[in-house]
């Protein structure tokens, strides 16, 4: 399947989001066929996540970034939810607390990275410290400009210690974002998601696009690649991300661990119990 390679940002390449089609469906497949394929991929994801949990030798970190209404929650609901919640955590990142502000910016991130055998999904992430912090001038340029190298070093450290990292930018255009804002206004069950900041941040669209371009260009590496996913069509977003995750996990060649007990002895005990209850 070509999706993983199609959307992966090669290390050292310069990303221009304005030149990437947010409505792409790659091979022009239809929505119904894609949804059927996603269901099959969900089953495979569940199998692979169980294998990672059982093997307990490495972990998976999934980073989701997007503009407001870009589809982070939808990705969790339609792709990640196929995995067993015993082995998966979704970790949101909101405005830092007083305790978090008293530490370096990666402190709150490192402590919630996945343990061996587990999957963690970052809904927003450490990249906020080169995105919103940059756009709003919360720290000087001389501070945030150093963070790309620091983030690369942090992710290399995680990778060297058994954490596999995949990062997705869910790429929607400004018109599609406004359409989704309208959907929220018209659906009372989504009113809780509405915030004035949706519109004030929208005024900074171009600044955010530039910040994302720099973050993706400078921090897509062999050990922690970025994928720019066309996300105007939610069904295609789900399909592309599912393919990337399945291919990533399959590439690990994971194996179930050997039994920790004598299987023949357990068979004997089972047979004895079955005879007793007959």
Distance CA 224, CA 253 (A): 18
β-strand pairing of 59-66 with 163-171: parallel
DSSP string, 112-146: TSPPTT-EEEEES-GGGGGTHHHHTTSS-HHHHTT
For 209-259, how does the pLDDT look when each residue is reduced to its tens digit (9 = 90+)?
Answer: 999 999 999 999 999 999 999 999 999 999 999 999 999 999 999 999 999
Q: What is the C-alpha separation between 207 and 132, in angstroms, rounded?
A: 10
pLDDT band for position 28 (cuts 50, 70, 90): low
Checking if the pLDDT of 201 tops 80, the result is yes
Mean pLDDT of the chain: 95
Any idea which fold 3-277 has? Rossmann fold (3.40.50)
Q: Where are the domains of the chain?
A: 3-277
- Helix 205-219 with 147-160: angle, nearest 10 deg: 50
Residue 45 has pLDDT above 90, yes or no: yes
14: left (phi over 0), alpha (psi -120 to 50) or beta: beta
Q: Whole-model pTM?
A: 0.95
C-alpha 186: how far from its chain's center? Answer: 28
Cβ contact 173:231 at 8 Å: no
pLDDT single digits (tens) 94-142: 999 999 999 999 999 999 999 999 999 999 999 999 999 999 999 999 9
pLDDT of residue 124: 97
* Strand locations in 17-114 (E): 59-66, 88-92
């Amino acid at each position: 399947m070509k999706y993983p390679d199609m959307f992966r940002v090669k290390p050292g390449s310069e990303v221009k989001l304005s030149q990437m089609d947010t409505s792409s469906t790659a091979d022009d497949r239809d929505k119904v066929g894609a949804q059927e394929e996603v269901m099959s991929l969900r089953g495979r994801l569940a199998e692979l996540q169980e294998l990672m949990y059982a093997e307990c030798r490495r972990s998976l970190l999934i980073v989701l970034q997007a503009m407001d209404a870009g589809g982070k929650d939808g990705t969790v609901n339609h792709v990640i939810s196929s995995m067993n919640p015993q082995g998966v955590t979704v970790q949101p990142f909101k405005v830092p607390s007083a305790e978090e502000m008293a530490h370096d910016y990666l402190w709150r991130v490192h402590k919630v990275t996945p343990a061996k055998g587990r999957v963690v999904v970052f809904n927003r992430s450490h990249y906020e410290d080169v995105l919103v912090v940059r756009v709003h001038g919360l720290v000087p340029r001389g501070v945030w400009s150093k963070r790309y190298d620091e983030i690369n070093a942090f992710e290399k450290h995680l990778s060297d210690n058994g954490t596999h990292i995949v990062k997705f930018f869910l790429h929607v255009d400004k018109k599609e974002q406004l359409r989704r804002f309208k959907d929220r206004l018209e659906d009372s069950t989504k009113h809780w998601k509405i915030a004035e900041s949706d519109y004030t941040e929208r005024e900074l669209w171009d600044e955010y696009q530039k910040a994302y371009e720099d973050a993706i260009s400078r921090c897509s590496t062999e050990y922690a690649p970025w994928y720019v996913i066309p996300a105007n069509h939610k069904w295609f977003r789900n399909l592309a991300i599912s393919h990337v995750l399945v291919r990533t996990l399959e590439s690990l060649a994971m194996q179930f661990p050997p039994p920790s007990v004598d299987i023949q002895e357990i068979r004997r005990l089972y047979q004895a119990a079955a005879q007793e209850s007959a």
